[in-house]
Amino acid sequence: MTAFISYSHQDAQMLDALHKHLAQLQRDKIITAWTDHEILAGGEFDKKIESALNGSKLFLALLSPDYIASNYCYEIEFKTAQEKHERGEIIIIPIVIEPCDWQSTPFGRFKALPKDGKAISTWENRNTAFLDVIQNLRKLASANTSDIMPKEAAGGNVLMSRNYKVKKDFDSIEKIEFIEKTFHNVVNYLKRYLEEITSLDNIKARILTEDTTTFEGLLVNRNKIATEATLSFTHSQDDQNQNFNYFNAANGELSYAVSTKTNNHSSPNSFKLNFDDYHLFWTKRVGYSSSRDSKEFDDKEIADEIWNAWLETVGIM
């Protein structure tokens, strides 16, 4: 099975590492990898790329900020692969090599490697991450094509796929799990942001509380006198921030407040759990109301709003 590897030239080191880990798969004649390195001097680049895509069953995209920013990788190679995927001609496999906002792109509809879409560069041992990628590729390439290609492609007539929306109801457990997942993801974003910001001179941070319903942290800017702020981020059942009641999950909220030494009682801001006939989502609560027509927020957007408010309080932009 031929695999077309789409990558940004800025990520050449990660590509070299992937080639090393693919060696046994190629030796076993399970996968044949193709990259633009195969194009000889004087070769017509676009035609060679098109020909290689037409002859490939796998499209491996090495996702990174550089990849997503690359017009050629994203707008040409990936776009062509999407068209072939819809016709049942190729399987798209995102391989996340660097942290990036890939889930907000069309790649988000595909299962990413390595496990849970965790970027390879963030693993303690990158060889372990690459091993996870290789094991999944071996399993995929060894499966029957009919098991992994779209059903429409099994016969001679190819049907273009459509994005169907199916109405559903959401029970309390689904809402609870959605609230907990969002809270967990936002906390993880905040912790990563804290690790980054403390690399700056005279910026200090400390996590004060972290449990299943509450995250509190202290951020200090020692470049300014007495400039520090405490963040409190919680998920709760109602407007009074009482202890979370699982039987009122439909009223779930994510609330945050930033306090300073001179302002110990800042008004909390919050995001309210909402849902329609198709999905669960978050909207920003304004006063005592939350409109279903207001903007929907994802986990990262919630984390970014909280983070920016916290930074601004200590004089960091």
In the chain the beta strands, taken as DSSP E runs, fall at 2-6, 32-34, 58-63, 91-96, 203-210, 214-221, 228-236, 253-259, 269-275, 280-285, 296-297
Q: Compute CA 9 distance to the chain's CA centroid, rounded to the nearest angstrom.
A: 22
Q: Are residues 179 and 275 in the same domain?
A: yes
The DSSP output letter for 247 is: G
* CATH number of the domain bearing residue 60: 3.40.50.10140
Output the pLDDT for position 169: 82
315: left (phi over 0), alpha (psi -120 to 50) or beta: left
The set of residues, in sequence order, having a beta carbon less than 8 Å from that of 20 and lying 6+ positions away, is none
Tokens matching residue 134: 């290789």
Roughly how many angstroms between the first and final C-alpha of the chain, as a whole number? 50
- Return the H-helix or E-strand segment holding 79: helix 78-86
Report whether pLDDT(70) > 50.
yes
Q: Best-predicted range by mean pLDDT among 26-35, 155-164, 290-299?
A: 26-35
**164 is a domain residue:** no
What residues make up the domain containing 203? 172-313
123-to-10, 21, 60, 186, 269 alpha-carbon distances in Å: 20, 16, 20, 20, 34
267-317: pLDDT as tens digits: 678 999 888 888 888 998 765 554 444 688 888 899 999 999 999 998 887
34-57: pLDDT as tens digits: 776 544 334 444 667 777 788 889
Q: Are residues 6 and 150 in the same domain?
A: yes
- The DSSP code sequence of 32-45 is EEE-GGGSPTT--H
Report whether pLDDT(155) > 60.
no
Output the pLDDT for position 148: 43
Rounded CA gap, 221 and 166, in Å? Answer: 49
Closest CA to 114 of 127, 101, 104: 127
Q: Are residues 235 and 309 in the same domain?
A: yes
Q: Are residues 235 and 190 in the same domain?
A: yes
Output the pLDDT for position 54: 82
Considering only residues 148 and 18, tell me which one the structure prediction assigns the higher pLDDT: 18
Q: Are residues 104 and 6 in the same domain?
A: yes
Tell me the whole-structure pTM to 2 decimals. 0.50
**166 is a domain residue:** no
The DSSP output letter for 88 is: T
**162 is a domain residue:** no
- Number of domains the chain is built from: 2
Rounded CA gap, 264 and 207, in Å? Answer: 18
Output the pLDDT for position 216: 95
Q: What is the mean pLDDT of residues 113-131?
A: 91
- β-strand 32-34 against 2-6: which pairing, if any? parallel
Query: Per-residue confidence at 75, pLDDT binned at 50, 70, 90?
Result: confident
Q: Are residues 11 and 149 in the same domain?
A: yes
Residue with tokens 């990158």: 126
Q: Are residues 139 and 186 in the same domain?
A: no
Closest CA to 239 of 274, 281, 206, 286: 286
220-278: pLDDT as tens digits: 998 887 789 999 999 865 444 444 444 455 568 899 999 987 776 566 789 998 888 88
Output the pLDDT for position 156: 41
What is the three-class DSSP state of 151?
helix
The set of residues, in sequence order, having a beta carbon less than 8 Å from that of 28 and lying 6+ positions away, is none
Closest CA to 285 of 308, 300, 302: 302
Report whether pLDDT(81) > 80.
yes
